[in-house]
């Protein structure tokens, strides 16, 4: 498993304590981290990302024993989820402690907490000895980074420290679950599915009033090239329409093309959800650089294992329902 050197960790901790930002790997995507107890440092995250101020950020901890510093109350259902899925790709929305600055929570009375499992994230959090506020390390609304070079592409020399953990294992952001007012509500699908959550706590709602949470704007996770989701049977014909206009088209499909075209860039991402998710943002970055007028993506199966992938693609295309607009990250 990839680990950072002691020198790298010490430099990252020094930068965080000085109120500056550090990019670091988690098992989901790379995070852009600041000392969560320093409002000025957290504000720098918003400035660098171009992130709206009403957008809460997730606070990362190395161990649930520090929850009392950030959370006013840990509901029993939340305790069960934490015991089952932490460390791991689950963010819990909980009542915030009185001392937590509203810049972290986007002005809300709730806070998002995660205990990541990536060894470098754990090294950094343990050495820092506090909470690290960290949305994804990308410009607001754009594709999340799954490799250190993606972070460099986004921010160039603006970051002194980028801890290199290689490729993110999962490749999609964490599952977000609200545990407020006696109910459990799924706000953002991720690697941990609704069925897995319900196996631990019973019914998990997907509708109703909800706090703003990262990643739930109707347009998010988007490449700069317009993206369109197309039914499997129609994708070849839709690509041909664009090529016939002497324009270049990019395609992300689950199979090879029936025939290659000079003005068509085609990626076969396969039919297995985990590797598809792992490679999704990397594939979209590749297609985004191809100089095409449009990215066509084959619609994934309507299946719980593909729910997180479909969510990200719908938001990347602007197809997500406005009623789901909760916030982003």
Instruction: Give residue limits of the domains in the chain.
Output: 6-201, 227-324
pLDDT band per the 50, 70, 90 thresholds, residue 149: very high
- CA dist., res. 146 & res. 124, Å (int): 18
292 or 320, higher pLDDT: 292
Residue 47, φ and ψ in degrees, nearest 5: -65, -45
Query: What is the average pLDDT across 119-131?
Result: 98
Per-residue model confidence as pLDDT tens digits over 246-261: 999 999 999 999 988 8
> Is pLDDT above 70 for 216?
no
- CA dist., res. 120 & res. 231, Å (int): 40
DSSP assignment, residue 65?
G
Q: Regarding beta strands 183-188 and 175-180, do their DSSP bridges make them parallel or antiparallel, or are they unpaired?
A: antiparallel
> Is pLDDT above 60 for 52?
yes
pLDDT band per the 50, 70, 90 thresholds, residue 325: very low
Q: Are 308 and 320 in contact (CB under 8 A)?
A: no
> Is pLDDT above 50 for 329?
no
Q: Quick one: pLDDT at residue 328? A: 31
Q: Quick one: pLDDT at residue 221? A: 85
Q: Quick one: pLDDT at residue 209? A: 81
Per-residue model confidence as pLDDT tens digits over 197-206: 999 999 999 9
> Is pLDDT above 50 for 322?
no
> Is pLDDT above 50 for 239?
yes
> Is pLDDT above 90 for 274?
yes
pLDDT band per the 50, 70, 90 thresholds, residue 323: very low
Q: 227-324: which CATH architecture?
A: 3-Layer(aba) Sandwich (3.40)
- CA dist., res. 282 & res. 292, Å (int): 16
- pLDDT cut 70: percent of the chain above it: 95
> Is pLDDT above 80 for 1?
no
Q: Quick one: pLDDT at residue 320? A: 58
Across 102-111, 120-129, 204-213, least confident range: 204-213
Count of Cβ atoms closer than 10 Å to residue 76 Cβ:
10
- CATH fold group of domain 6-201: DHBP synthase (3.90.870)
- pLDDT cut 90: percent of the chain above it: 88
């Amino acid at each position: 498993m990839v680990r950072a050197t002691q020198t790298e960790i010490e430099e990252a901790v020094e930068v965080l304590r000085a109120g500056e930002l550090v990019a670091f790997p988690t098992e989901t995507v790379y995070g852009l981290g600041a000392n969560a107890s320093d409002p000025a440092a957290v504000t720098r995250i918003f400035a660098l990302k171009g992130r709206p101020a009403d957008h809460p950020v997730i606070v990362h901890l190395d161990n649930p024993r520090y929850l009392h510093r950030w959370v006013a109350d840990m509901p029993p259902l939340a305790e069960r989820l934490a015991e089952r899925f932490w460390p791991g790709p689950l963010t819990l929305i909980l009542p915030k402690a009185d001392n937590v600055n509203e810049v972290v929570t986007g002005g809300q009375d709730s806070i998002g907490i995660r205990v990541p499992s990536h060894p470098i994230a754990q090294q950094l959090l343990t050495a820092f000895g506090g909470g690290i506020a960290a949305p994804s390390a990308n410009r607001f609304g754009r594709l999340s980074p799954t490799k250190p070079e993606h972070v460099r592409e986004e921010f160039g020399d603006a970051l002194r420290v980028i801890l290199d953990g290689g490729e993110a294992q999962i490749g999609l952001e964490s599952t977000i679950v609200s545990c407020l007012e006696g109910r459990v509500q799924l706000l953002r699908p991720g690697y941990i599915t609704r069925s897995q959550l319900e196996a631990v706590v019973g019914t998990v709602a997907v509708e109703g009033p909800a706090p703003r949470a990262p990643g739930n704007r109707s347009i998010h996770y988007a490449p700069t090239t317009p993206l369109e989701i197309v039914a499997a049977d129609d994708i070849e014909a839709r690509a041909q329409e664009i090529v016939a206009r002497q324009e270049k088209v990019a395609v992300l499909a689950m199979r090879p093309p029936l025939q290659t075209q000079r003005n068509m860039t085609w990626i076969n991402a396969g039919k297995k959800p985990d590797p598809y998710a792992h490679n999704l943002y990397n594939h979209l970055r590749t297609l985004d650089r191809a100089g095409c007028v449009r990215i066509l993506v084959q619609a994934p199966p309507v299946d719980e294992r593909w729910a997180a992938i479909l969510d990200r693609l719908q938001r990347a295309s602007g197809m997500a329902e406005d009623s789901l607009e909760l916030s982003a990250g």
